[in-house]
Amino acid sequence: MTPHYVVRHVDRADPETVAALRAAGVATVHEAAGRTGLLGPAVRARQTGAVVAGSAITVSCHPGDNLMVHAAVEVCRPGDVLVVGTTSRSTDGMVGDLLATSLMARGVVGLVIDAGVRDLASLRELGFPVWSRAVHAQGTAKAVPGSVNVPVVVDGQVVRPGDVVVADDDGVLALPVAMASDVAAAAAKRLAVEEGKRAALAAGTLGLDLYDLRPLLADLGVVHVDRLPDGVG
Ligand SMILES: O=C([O-])CC(=O)C(=O)O
Ligand SMILES: [Mg+2]
């Protein structure tokens, strides 16, 4: 039989770094990380306005089977994000309000799952944020083994145990621990620069001038005219 593992120990990023990445949000962290780390857009927020960051506890499940999600709950610590992948594509409702209640009792701050969730109204009422491929009431079994804290693929992105996961309304990103503090510093710089840009744009400065795009447009052959010349268009 193929061995399956529940790995108890995970190397986590320090809480200050995790907090800084949370404050920056997914889009800024993605840019600061050199446009890496994003999960695909199919795994999306199932609530509005939630922002979480935490260390990934990863789960590899057989499709239609949430046995290993139950096994994973035990190794979660406060501040973790549970990240669930399946070994082939699934939209079954693997996690609902009961598992969410259990995860909240362990201090887990959110769930990212490349499958379905159910009991959505209750999940929202609980205030337990989820990012999922689907919402579907389809029930699942507890019969097939898998592993906890091994690398998983979630909508095209590898997520390793301990990766810092950042999730908000824009999507989900996973960052290796080794990159996390450098990216947090770069993200803080980006936020400061964006603050200045936001003030200038709010005051009416055009992006064309703020980013000095007029010479570029000219170089690219873009011509300003009052009306299209006859015979064009
Ligand atoms: O129990 C399950 O299999 C999934 C579910 O609905 C819950 O966690 O509430
Ligand atoms: Mg349920």
Name the helix (H) or strand (E) containing 195: helix 177-202
Q: What ipTM goes with this model?
A: 0.98
Predicted local confidence at residue 232, as pLDDT = 86
Classify residue 229 by its DSSP letter: P
Ligand 1 binding pocket includes 118 (Cβ within 6 Å): yes
CA distance 210 to 223: 20
Q: Quick check: CB of 96 below 6 Å from ligand 1?
A: yes
Asked if residue 118 belongs to a known ligand binding site, the reply is yes
- Whether the pLDDT of residue 5 is over 80: the answer is yes
Model pLDDT, residue 99: 98
Pocket lining: 97 vs ligand 1, CB cutoff 6 Å: yes
What is the value of pTM for the model shown? 0.95
- CB neighbour burial string for 147-172, b if at least 16 within 10 angstroms, e if fewer: bbbbebebbebebbbbbbbbbbebbb
Residue (of 60, 53, 51, 58) closest to 13 by Cα position: 53
Region 19-39: mean pLDDT is 97
The residue assigned the tokens 């450098």 is 182
Q: Is 115 exposed, middle or buried (0-12, 13-18, 19+ CB in 10 A)?
A: buried
Q: Is 230 annotated as a binding residue?
A: no
Does residue 140 have its Cβ closer than 6 Å to ligand 1? Answer: yes
- Is the CB of 119 within 6 Å of ligand 1? yes
Q: Is the pLDDT of residue 230 over 80?
A: yes
State the pLDDT at residue 1. Answer: 65
User: Per-residue pLDDT averaged across 155-165, rounded?
Assistant: 98
Distance 120 CA to ligand 2 centre (A): 9
- Ligand nearest, relative to CA of residue 128: 1
| 117 CA → ligand 2 middle, Å | 9
Is 210 annotated as contributing to ligand binding? no
- Tell me the average pLDDT across 81-106: 98
Query: Do the annotations mark residue 231 as ligand-binding?
Result: no
| Averaged confidence pLDDT in the chain | 97
- Return d(Cα 149, Cα 212) in angstroms, integer: 48
- Which atom of ligand 1 is nearest to 94's Cα? 4
What are the pLDDT digits (tens) for 31-88?
A: 999 999 999 999 999 999 999 999 999 999 999 999 999 999 999 999 999 999 999 9
Predicted local distance difference test score (pLDDT) of residue 4: 97
Q: Is 73 in the pocket of ligand 1 (CB under 6 A)?
A: no
Residue 175 burial (10 A CB sphere; 0-12, 13-18, 19+): buried
The percentage of the chain sitting over the pLDDT mark of 70, rounded to a whole number, equals: 100
CA distance linking residue 55 with residue 164, whole number of Å: 5
| pLDDT of 2 over the 90 cut | no
Angle between helix 177-202 and helix 15-24 axes, rounded to 10 deg: 30
| Closest ligand to residue 96's CA | 1
Q: What is the DSSP letter of 201?
A: H
User: Taking the mean position of all CA atoms in its chain, how far away is CA 102?
Assistant: 21
Burial of 21 (0-12, 13-18, 19+ CB in 10 A): buried
Q: DSSP labels for 25-76?
A: -HHHHHHHTTS--BPPTTSEESSSS--EEEEEEEEEE-TTB-HHHHHHHTT-
Phi, psi of 9 (to 5 degrees): -90, 135
The Å distance, Cα 122 to ligand 2 centre, comes to 9
pLDDT (tens digit per residue) in 171-191: 999 999 999 999 999 999 999
Instruction: Find the ligand nearest to 100 CA.
Output: 1
Which ligand 1 atom lies nearest to the CA of residue 100? 8
- 233: pLDDT confidence band, cut at 50, 70 and 90? confident
What is the Å distance from ligand 2's center to 25 Cα? 30
Q: Which are the contacts of 121, defined by CB distance < 8 A and separation ≥ 6?
A: none
Q: Is 96 annotated as a binding residue?
A: yes
